Each structure stands twice: as C-alpha cells, then as structure tokens.
Structure 1
Amino acid sequence: MANKEEFKNSLSRMFRARIPFISIRSIERSRVLEIIQQLSEEINIPIYIHSLSHGTMDIKTRKTVNDDRSVAGGIDFAVQNISQRQNLTFIFTEVSNIEDDNIVSRHIYDCVVQAIEKGGSICIISTKSVWSQLQRLGMTLTLDPPNEEEMLTVVKDCVVPYKGSIPIDWDENDLKMAATILANITKIEAENVLATQMAKGSLTKDDIKSLSMEKDKLFSDISGLEKVKVDPSLISVGGLTGLHQWLDNQKQLLTADLKSRKLRPPRGVLLVGVPGCGKSLSAKLIAATWNLPLYRLDFASIQGMYVGQSENRLKEAFESADNAAPCILWIDEIEKGLAANANDSSGVTTRMIGQFLFWLQESTEKVFVVATANDVTKLPPELLRKGRFDELFFVDLPQDQERADIINLYLKKNLLPAPSSLTFEKLTAISAGFAGSDLEGAVRDVAIQAVINGDSFISDELYIKCFQNIVPLSKTSPERIEAIRNWGKERALPASGLAWDSSSNEITSGRRTIII
C-alpha cells in the first residue's frame, strides 16, 4: 500500500532497476498512467502503453506504434521489439484472466523471460491478483486512493481556477476540510463530487456538509456495516455536558495537522453506564453535530458458520469503514459481541477481539468509534486500557437539573403545554432515579392523551399521574444499577461533568475530571 509520492518513488526505482515484471494494483488507471507519464519525463527510457481502444502508443509522443488492439497482438509486438532493443518498457492496461495458469498468463510469462535477457520491463495495471509463477518473476506495487495531502491538491485544482468566475466562499480551512472529507475516494470521484457542487453556480460554507452526503452515497452499501440515517431535527440529548465539551475538542482534531506532533486522529470513545441514559443516542448526536455519516457495526451480523469467516467479515467491515472515512462507527452494546465465552472452543471470539484491538490501535484513518456498553464487566480488560479508546465515559442517572432539562426537551419535542412551575418542580422530584428513557416514556404518555383528547385535556394532575406510573429500572433492579454505578465512579469520567454520590444523593467532585 502506498500513497502517490511513495508509489512514484517505488515505481521509479523499479524502472531504473529494470525489474522485468511489475504488477500494479489500482482501480485508478488514469492516475497510474499520469504518474508513469511524469516518470517518462524524468527517466530517459522508452515507455509504451497498450490499451484495447488505441493499441500500443509511445507515451511521450502519444503516437500509435502498433494498430493491433488485442492483448495478444500487444504482447507479440512487445516481444518483437524487446528482442531487438535494450531497456524497453511496456505498460498493459487491460489484461484479464491472469490469475491462473492459462494462455494469456503464459504468453506474458514468455514475454517477461525475453525481457529479462534484454533489460526490458513488462508492467500490468490491474485490480486482480497475478498467477503466482508469473508474479515471482517481478514485484507488486499498490496505489492507494488519494490521502488528505494529495486530495487537498485535487480540491484546489478543481476550485481555485473558478474563483473569478463564480462566488466561492471557501477559505483555506474549508479547502482542508473538503480534502479531509473526500480523502480515500478516487481522484475522479472527488472531481465529480466537486464539479456537481460548483454546477449550481457557487460554493458556500453549507456545501461542505453536502460533500459528506455525496461521498456517503458512494458507500451506501458497505459490507458488514449498516448505514444509519440521522435526522438532526429529531435528535437531542439532555445533560451529558462533560461528554459534549470533550467531543467539541475532539472535533477540532479532525481537521488539525497532527503529523508534526506525531499524533493519530481521534480514535473514539467508550460509553458505559446505566441503560436508557442516552449512550446510543449520543452516537447519533455526534454524527449529526459533526456532519459525518454514521455506520453501525453489528457483531452478530458478521458471525459466520465456517472457520475464519467471522474474522474475514470483520476485517472487511473495518476496511470499508477506513475507506468511508471520515465517519462515525457506532458499536452498540459491544460487550455482547466481544464478551469472553468459556464455551467458545473454536477461539473465534478471541481472534475477533484481537483483530478489533489491532485495528483500533493501528488504523490511521479518521474513523471515530462510539462504542456503548451496559455490562462492562463482560468486556476483555485489554479493551479498557488507555490507548485503545481516547476516553472512557460513565453515563449515570440524570441529576435534578439534568432531569429538568430532559423533561423540557421532550415537552418541546412533543409540542406539549408546560405544567405550572410548582408542578414542574414536583415532576423533577418524582423522577429521582429515572433514566432518560423513563422521562421520555412519562412525557410520551402525556402526549398520547393529548392526541386522543386534545390539549385541553392536559393538566398538572395528568402530568403527575403519568410520572408516578413509571417504575424505573433503578427500582426494579437496584442491585444491578448500583453495581454499574460503583464501577463507573472508580474507572471512568462522568459524562455529566459531575459525579454523584448515590448514598447521599449529593453532587460531588468526580475522582477523574475532564481536561478542557
């Protein structure tokens, strides 16, 4: 794997070293040929390109030297010329059926043998593997899609020439953000996306958001991942102030230049805590706030029945996420997919854990992972050590002010008339121990009555009755909730920015604090 500069340097050395056979893996034939064109100017060796549409051409003069457009005819022409002249290089752009031992691959094999004797070089551009006996005569090189640095050049080449022709509001930071969003797609795909945006006659700040949507369309059907549609108007989370402040800082790192300080992009966050308190909703909120696509990884959906199938599917899912970057990768209830299983004699779970940890540690793409867990005791301890996720947050039951904020949030969302201030204080007191989902359920019961009987039916007594009818999980399973809370207070940052001493019901300073 190589970016453009690494690829160009490696290919230049191979040409100079007269490697007899070079297979180039890339889906961007035109981009590869553009680089070879540059090398032909720098290295004084004859280079010819064969294609099914033009036959064989001299790359420098662009003149056709052989009209036979078939692959067999191109190979015969190469053999004939290599036998007569030294240091010739032939590039074949459309060769099929070279994965196995067949007539085509053996024809090329004979050509390469001839090239070895005369200092020639045969180069094939393909997306497929090459017959092993043929590949052992040479070397393989892969060209990655444009990274952020190269994509910035592509963006500027597309946008800057039009600055005098159409209104363009993008500054240098906007150009960098566009490059960040469009990184890891092909050059032609990026040019098409930008051209589509400029076709309306202007480029505004809002068009940056549109770039994410356009890129997202290219990855609408990703192996192993589920695309989650996010409507910002329907997503809101009350409380969790500490988590939101920390996320605001992380967002800035997505476009910051981290290379000089040898830092990797933000890796993600693990949210643990009481069920129903907004962990999963936070993943959607991050995607909506950051204007990034959201993909959900379901470990259950990638489980296979054959040996190695689950691991391969997981690897493909991570590769797909890297290609879709920048994006949000949501892993809900991660403990269910990576929990240690004493009955797992095949070792599938252990290998999947290892693969996930390796990707989490080594991937350099801007994939921000939001993992949630209810029973964190089932997670492997190596997943919780510092360096895997950027931070571990504990989402506790909402405090008085947080409950008031959440109640107000759902009242506005459901278009309900607010109760009196005295009743509102009673609702806040009644809902002590409620999770966010409990508060939503209570307000929803009021909204249902408003739909059935009209807003005139809504009264303070109805609000109090609906809230009193809710039995929260903190009362039905108090031991389980208390165990979760005790674990979180010792090991995680409070998502609210404050920690709560459950024995005294008082807000106290947390053992760990957020650095803002």
Structure 2
Amino acid sequence: MRARFSFIYISTWEEDRAISLIHDASTNESLIKTQRKVFTWSVTNGMAEIGQKGREDSKAPLKGLEFIESFDQPAVFILKDFHAYFGIGGRVPDQQVIRKIRDLVPALKQSPNPKNVIIVSPILQLPIELQKQITIVDFDLPSFSEIKNILDEMIQTNQANERITFDLLPEDEERLAKAALGLTLDEAENAFARAMVEDGRLDKRDVDIILEEKRQIIKKSEILEFVKTDLKIEDVGGLENLKRWLQKRNKSWLDSAAQYGLPAPKGVLITGVPGCGKSLIAKAVSAMWHLPLLRLDLGQIFSGLVGSSEENMRKAIQTAEAISPSILWIDEIEKGFSGISSNGDSGTSSRIFGTFLTWMQEKTKPVFVIATANNIHALPAELMRKGRFDEIFFVDLPTKKERVEIFRLHIGKRLGNPKVIGEFKLTEEILELLAESTEGYVGAEVEQAVITALFEAFSENRAIRLDDFHKAFAATVPLSITQAEQIHAIREWANVRAVAATPQVDRIEYRKEVPGSEAQEPKIEDIHATRGGRTVDF
C-alpha cells in the first residue's frame, strides 16, 4: 500500500479476517504514514465505508469503479467477489469492467491522494488483459499463534461455565491448536466449541474432534481420502524396529522438538513382502500421533484433460499442507510412478513425478509421507535418494516370535463369546505351536487362517478346536512358496539398501528359509543373506 500498488488481489475464504487486517494496516500509524479510509463494495450493498450504510447508486460494478475514480481522499477500496466479472466458469468476461480497471490504473498512480484497490475473493481468476495490472498477494491460513489465541480466549470465556470442565496441560493446549492448523478462524472456533459441548469437557482427547472438522476439507478436495482408523500401534504384530523408530518421532512437530533444533520428519518408504503389515503401519501411526491420515490415490491424479493432472498433484500437496501437521499415505507408490521414462503419456507422469520429488525435498510444512511399495524395482532411483525419505524400511516374512504376536492379536480379537471358546485355551504353548506350523506365512495369511478356522467351527455350530487351525493351514499355500523368486529378489535388494523393520534379535529366531525345509540354527553371517535389511536397531 505504501508503494502505491493500484490493484491487489487476495484469494481467501476468510473475507472478514482479510478485511480486518486491511483495516488495521490502513489506520495504524506505525505501519503507514498516510492513513486511509476503508471502503467495501459488494453487488448487494454497493460501496460503503467501514461501519456505514452502503450507497444504492454504486451496486453496479462500473458505478463502484467510478466512485473509486472520483473519490478525492486517501482510501483503500475492498471489492468483494469481483472475480465474477472476469469470466469464471466458462462465462464471458465483462469487457467494460476489464477496460475500466485498465483505465483506472494510471489514474490511481497519478492521484495526489494515495488510493489502493484490493479484490478479495475465494477464487483466483484473472483475465489475460489484467495480468500485468493486478498484483496477487498470498493470504495464509491462520498461524499457530492466532489459533492458540482463539483457544485461550474461549477457555477464559467459559471458565465460569459449570457445565464445561477443562483438563489441559500447556502441552495439550499446544496439541489442540496444532491440530486445528489448516482451518480458518471460524472453523477452528467451531471445532473448539463442538469439542467443549460434545461431552462437557475439553481435554487432550478432543484432538479427534478437531481432526473430524478437518475431514470436511478433505471431502471437498475429491483427490485425497481422509482415512479414519481406530487401529493402535499395539495392533501391529512384530516390526518392533520400525515401531520404535516411529514412536521416537512422535510429537516432533511440536515446539518442544524445536528446542532440540529438530526438523519435522519427512517420511518413510516401506517396502517388502505383500501382506506383511505395510499399510497397517500407516493407519496405526495416524492413531499413535493423533494426526489426520490422508490417502493419495495416484490414479485420481491422472486426469484426461491436458494440464489437469499436474494441477491435481499441486492441489493434493496444497491440501495436505493446509491441514498440516498431517500424514500423507501413498499406497503401492510404484504403480503410479513406474515407467516414467516412457513417452506414452507425453511426459505427464514425469512432470507429476518431478513436482512430487521437488516438494519432498523442499517441503517445510510438517507433512509426514508414508509410501508403501511391493515391487521396489519399479521405483525410480531418484525417489530413494537421501533427503526424500528419512529412512527406507524393509518388511520381511514375520519371524516365529512375530507370528506368535500376530496370532495373539487376531485370535484374542475374535474369541470373545464363551460359546465359541468352549474348552479352547489360548496358552503360550498353543501360540508357539501355531507359530511353528505357519513358517513362511505372511501376516495377512495368518489372519485368514484364523478366520478359516472359525468358519470350520461356525459351520458345525460348535466351539473352536485346535484341529480347526491345522485344517486351515493344510488348505493354505503361502506366498513364500507361490512367489519365492520375487521375495528372494526383494530381499537381495533390501540387504544393502534398506533397514529391517524387525530387530536383529528377532531375526536370529528365524529358523527356516523355505517352509518344509529342515530346521537349523543359522549363522550370524547367513542372516543377511536370507533375511533382508541392514542391521540397524532403533
């Protein structure tokens, strides 16, 4: 405004907040020497000074621009939703309005009284004729301090309300405010109010209610999917190395991490044998960190319209950053970015891949990316360079100890009815026996075997028996046999390029490389040949 820019364009949904900030800047002596009157224009009220009634004779856009031209005092004019005259939605632009704006530019610059025109609109739409005359100014969503102030004000206002209990430590207040980042001030206020009245209590558990409000933003984007999950990290059997790595990075987006000079983690690439819990980890991390989980379907990114695929990727990134801190989950990433060197799509895949790589390298917002891949050989080498992901983890066939935990989880989760349990007792001996019988099974096959055994009992309307599990095992041909060559190739790749998700102490327990082979105590040097993943424990 001090530089006498004639026309400024601010794209934001927060019209009232923008007008308030513009008014403060126009009347603050410490910010601007020549204070200005502030007018707003809309097609319903015409031109009106802040706090005054609108002029009926200025409701037409041309009349509003003529008022600006003839006004002879320092002023700022805020035009609401003026994008409607610039040809949005396929409509023909209003050439008279566009021409009048172009005529106004030199008149405003040469005026003895400083005047600025600011267009405030939720949509950025500029005709070609005005692209050199109008300056676009970014208007960020509310900062952490602004949202924290709203939360503090609401807590102070409702402290005397006997129907609402507040149980918040300073860290909990910070977590609530961080969870509301990406919302407008009105949305954040509504989310906090809903959290208070939902159960008459405001505490750290209300983060989930804030995230539910964020879900509305994702629903409207149509590119990202908000994944709601009740999974806990304890629901993932095994993979202790990966789980410990993730647990140590919990709360890393809070100010307490900044005291250690720590940046927010970028993300992890999880590769390995299909059905061993890669996607499960992504869902469990969301619950453990209390952050929204956004699933990016790369198939939705690629659109038939020229140029729209690149725009879809940019929108997905902007949405993920708008509601950060968040987790962006890309399942089977190799299917979206494989074959980018081919010219079959005129380079669209390469451009989208380049946009994603640049963002991964340069991003500053706390968006944690979890990418999973089954066929790691199909991924471009650039994606796996240090700086894109913090770490690459390899998830192998579960060890005996991990299979014990997987059986404990799935049987314990399903056996709750005394009629189904009968005389069956889930002892450590039984778990050990089941784990021994399922050498070479992936986690998904263990779960399916439990379900098959329960169907055996259900079909005969009786309690579950141990031999039901053995029947299920006999009917299963595990993935380690049907895809032995592919699994071996993945292990060879991961041996020097990835960190094992299973700790070294658990991998030593693995006795047989191929189901049915003779059990033998492996040597330490043989572990790396048969069990992929670098020896790094967290």
TM-score range, shorter chain: 0.7 to 0.9
**Structure 1 residues 422 and 157: CA distance shift in structure 2, 3 A:** closer
* Structure-to-structure mapping, 1:77-476, within 5 angstroms: 77-82=67-72, 85=73, 87-95=74-82, 96-98=84-86, 100=93, 102-118=95-111, 119-126=114-121, 127-165=123-161, 166-200=164-198, 201-232=200-231, 236-257=235-256, 263-340=262-339, 343-345=342-344, 346-415=346-415, 417-418=424-425, 422-456=429-463, 458-476=464-482
Q: SS of the residue aligned with 1:340?
A: coil
State how far apart, in whole Å, the 2-side matches of 1:412 and 1:36 are.
60
State how far apart, in whole Å, the 2-side matches of 1:18 and 1:342 are.
49
State how far apart, in whole Å, the 1-side matches of 2:389 and 2:8 are.
40
Partner of 1:21: 7
Partner of 1:56: 47
* Deviation for aligned residue 1:124: 1.9
Q: Is the 8 A contact 2:268 2:370 kept in 1?
A: yes
Percent identity over the alignment is 34
Question: Residue 65 of structure 2 aligns to which amino acid in structure 1?
Answer: I
State how far apart, in whole Å, the 2-side matches of 1:231 and 1:478 are.
34
Question: Residue 31 of structure 1 aligns to which amino acid in structure 2?
Answer: R
Partner of 2:57: 68
Q: Is the 8 A contact 1:216 1:324 kept in 2?
A: no
Q: Is the 8 A contact 2:98 2:130 kept in 1?
A: yes
Corresponding residue pairs, total: 495
State how far apart, in whole Å, the 1-side matches of 2:195 and 2:68 are.
44
Q: Deviations over 1:426-455 (max 9, x none)?
A: 322221111111211221111111222234
* Deviation for aligned residue 1:362: 2.2
**Structure 1 residues 359 and 75: CA distance shift in structure 2, 3 A:** same
* Deviation for aligned residue 1:192: 1.6
Q: Is the 8 A contact 1:169 1:204 kept in 2?
A: yes
**Structure 1 residues 164 and 506: CA distance shift in structure 2, 3 A:** farther
**Structure 1 residues 505 and 483: CA distance shift in structure 2, 3 A:** farther
Q: Deviations over 1:360-406 (max 9, x none)?
A: 12222332221111111111111111111121111111111111111
* Deviation for aligned residue 1:238: 0.6
State how far apart, in whole Å, the 2-side matches of 1:333 and 1:426 are.
34
Structure 2, unaligned runs of 5 or more:
88-92, 416-420, 514-520
Q: Is the 8 A contact 2:252 2:263 kept in 1?
A: no
TM-score by length of 2: 0.84
Q: Is the 8 A contact 2:144 2:181 kept in 1?
A: yes
* Structure-to-structure mapping, 1:3-18, within 5 angstroms: 15-18=1-4
* Deviation for aligned residue 1:419: 5.3
Structure 1, unaligned runs of 5 or more:
1-14
Question: Residue 155 of structure 1 aligns to which amino acid in structure 2?
Answer: L
State how far apart, in whole Å, the 1-side matches of 2:54 and 2:452 are.
80
Partner of 1:6: none
* Deviation for aligned residue 1:169: 1.2
Q: Is the 8 A contact 2:500 2:534 kept in 1?
A: no
State how far apart, in whole Å, the 1-side matches of 2:179 and 2:438 are.
43
**Structure 1 residues 210 and 446: CA distance shift in structure 2, 3 A:** same
Q: Is the 8 A contact 1:267 1:368 kept in 2?
A: yes
Q: SS of the residue aligned with 1:394?
A: strand
Q: SS of the residue aligned with 2:220?
A: coil
**Structure 1 residues 341 and 21: CA distance shift in structure 2, 3 A:** closer
Q: Is the 8 A contact 1:393 1:492 kept in 2?
A: yes
* Deviation for aligned residue 1:475: 1.7
TM-score by length of 1: 0.87
Bigger CA drift: 30-39 or 126-135? 126-135
* Deviation for aligned residue 1:273: 0.8
* Deviation for aligned residue 1:32: 0.9
Question: Residue 106 of structure 2 aligns to which amino acid in structure 1?
Answer: V
Question: Residue 126 of structure 2 aligns to which amino acid in structure 1?
Answer: V
* Deviation for aligned residue 1:233: 7.9
State how far apart, in whole Å, the 1-side matches of 2:396 and 2:300 are.
29
* Deviation for aligned residue 1:229: 3.5
* Deviation for aligned residue 1:35: 0.8
